[in-house]
């Protein structure tokens, strides 16, 4: 079998799927990537750690001398193969398996390698995903939604359910939720098209991979099933070189790449997050987001030596931020605030404040407060206010 593909496309594909390669498994095959022909003009690369499967399809010229080679494919050690492709010159790469065995000949320009792979029959097959809900969303919208909640995901493995992001689809709207019990972030928004309904808890690692896979203009198809979720990214930006000029033996108009990720879901009952969101407030602050974020960053220099505690207190039209540390000293900063309601003194974790202020995209941000020891609600100011909310648990004011 002979496979020919541009080095750049093949290198990008191996870099993509290699993120699913297992680095600690006792199964040698999980350190390999499967290269499988897709007819005479395409190839797919697959890697897995048995929790997540990553698949990348790209154009290639395939010549198979044996019938079974058109479906079986071959494997190569992922790390070594990626290093080779990274070092090779910009030219077509030829992958040849002349005897049908596990030794693969890699040729590019004047460089030649003979690489030992493993039998493709050992490579685990991706699970079948029979979705109860499927929907389509633009890459930029999905990436923004994930970014605005992922900072609140828990890292405590003893509560595995909180190490994922809750994904809810009701047939027309997508909702993402994350919490570590100290803060809660909820973001919802419409999708392009979709059908069915489903609720799933997707591992944060998998959701973060989606933000790397999807470009802003790419189309993302998400399928939620029992125990599995599938994310398919079609790279609209790869439809380049639309004239008849051949690159790697393929007309440019066919140069469209797609990437598919299948991940196991986290089993368990996600907390009823809606009960945590306060339904009323007695005080409201409205501030310029960038001004407040800069003040929090300055105050955090001292606050980090005292459990990241920063105290916020209103004085007329000013919001005063203070922090104290027995080893560093103290800090005070002020920002202008438009306030509703009486004065209040409340303390929050500076790190948590900085992360939610970094996630909000609006020019202004509002804080809805009730009492010093009751949760505070952070929302963007403007059209996004109904779409995003972050609940922060306060700290004791000392």
Q: Are 176 and 146 in contact (CB under 8 A)?
A: yes
- Sheet strand arrangement including 329-336: 329-336, 318-325, 309-315, 345-349
pLDDT at 1: 75
User: For the chain, what percent of residues have pLDDT higher than 70?
Assistant: 93
CA proximity to 390, closest of 152, 140, 146: 152
* Structure letter (DSSP) for residue 158: G
User: For the chain, what percent of residues have pLDDT higher than 90?
Assistant: 83
* pLDDT grade for 64, boundaries at 50, 70 and 90: low
Q: What is the pLDDT of residues 187-204, one digit of tens each?
A: 999 998 999 999 999 999
Architecture of domain 277-392: Roll (3.10)
pLDDT surpassing 90 at residue 2: no
Q: Are 126 and 145 in contact (CB under 8 A)?
A: no
Q: Are 303 and 350 in contact (CB under 8 A)?
A: yes
Yes or no: is domain 2-126 CATH 1.10.3720.10?
no
pLDDT surpassing 80 at residue 248: no
Average pLDDT, rounded, for the chain = 91
Token pair listed for 269: 């009952």
Q: What is the pLDDT of residues 152-187, one digit of tens each?
A: 999 999 999 999 999 999 999 999 999 999 999 999
* Residue 331: count of CB within 10 angstroms of its CB: 18
Adjacent-strand bridge partners of 349? 309
Can you give the pTM of this predicted structure?
0.90
What is the spatial distance between Cα 56 and Cα 18, in angstroms, rounded to a whole number?
A: 10
CA proximity to 126, closest of 222, 264, 302, 282: 264
* pLDDT grade for 236, boundaries at 50, 70 and 90: low
Q: Are 55 and 46 in contact (CB under 8 A)?
A: yes
Residues 6 or more apart whose CB falls under 8 angstroms from that of 279 comprise none
CA proximity to 263, closest of 176, 324, 202: 202
Residues 6 or more apart whose CB falls under 8 angstroms from that of 68 comprise none
Helices (H), the chain: 7-17, 69-72, 78-87, 139-150, 204-213, 289-303, 350-359
Q: Residues spanned by CATH 3.10.150.10 within the chain?
A: 2-126, 133-232+267-273, 277-392
Topology, domain 133-232+267-273? DNA Polymerase III; Chain A, domain 2 (3.10.150)
């Amino acid at each position: 079998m002979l496979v020919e593909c541009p080095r750049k496309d093949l290198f990008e594909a191996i870099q993509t799927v290699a993120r699913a390669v297992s680095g600690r498994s006792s199964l040698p095959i999980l350190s390999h990537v499967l290269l499988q022909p897709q007819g005479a003009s395409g190839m797919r690369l697959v890697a897995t750690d048995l929790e997540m499967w990553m698949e990348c399809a790209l154009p290639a010229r395939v010549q198979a001398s044996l019938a079974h080679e058109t479906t079986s494919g071959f494997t190569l050690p992922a790390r070594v193969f990626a290093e080779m492709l990274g070092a090779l010159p910009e030219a077509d790469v030829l992958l040849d398996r002349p005897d049908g065995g596990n030794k693969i000949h890699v040729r590019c320009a004047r460089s030649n390698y003979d690489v030992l792979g493993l039998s493709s029959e050992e490579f685990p097959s991706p699970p079948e995903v029979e979705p109860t809900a499927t929907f389509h969303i633009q890459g930029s919208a999905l990436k923004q939604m994930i970014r605005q909640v992922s900072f609140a995901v828990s890292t405590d493995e003893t509560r595995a359910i909180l190490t994922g992001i809750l994904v809810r689809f009701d047939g027309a709207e997508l909702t993402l939720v994350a919490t570590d019990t100290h803060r809660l972030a909820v973001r919802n928004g419409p999708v392009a098209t979709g059908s069915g309904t489903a609720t799933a808890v997707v591992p944060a690692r998998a959701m973060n991979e989606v933000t790397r896979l999807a470009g802003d203009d790419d189309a993302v198809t998400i399928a939620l099933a029992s125990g599995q979720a599938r994310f398919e990214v079609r790279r609209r930006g790869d439809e380049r070189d639309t004239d008849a000029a051949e690159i790697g033996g393929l007309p440019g108009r066919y140069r469209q790449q797609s990437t598919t990720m299948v991940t196991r879901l986290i089993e368990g009952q996600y907390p009823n997050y809606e009960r945590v969101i306060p339904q009323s407030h007695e005080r409201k602050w409205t501030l310029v987001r960038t001004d407040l974020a800069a003040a929090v960053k300055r105050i955090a220099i001292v606050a980090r030596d005292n459990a990241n505690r920063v105290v916020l207190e209103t004085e007329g039209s000013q919001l005063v931020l203070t922090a104290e540390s027995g080893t560093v000293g103290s800090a005070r900063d002020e920002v202008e605030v438009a306030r509703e309601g009486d004065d209040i003194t409340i303390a929050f974790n500076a790190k948590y404040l900085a992360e939610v202020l970094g996630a909000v995209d609006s020019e202004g941000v509002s804080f809805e407060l009730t009492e010093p020891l009751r949760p505070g609600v952070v929302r963007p100011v403007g059209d996004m206010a109904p779409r995003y909310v972050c609940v922060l648990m306060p700290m004791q004011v000392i």
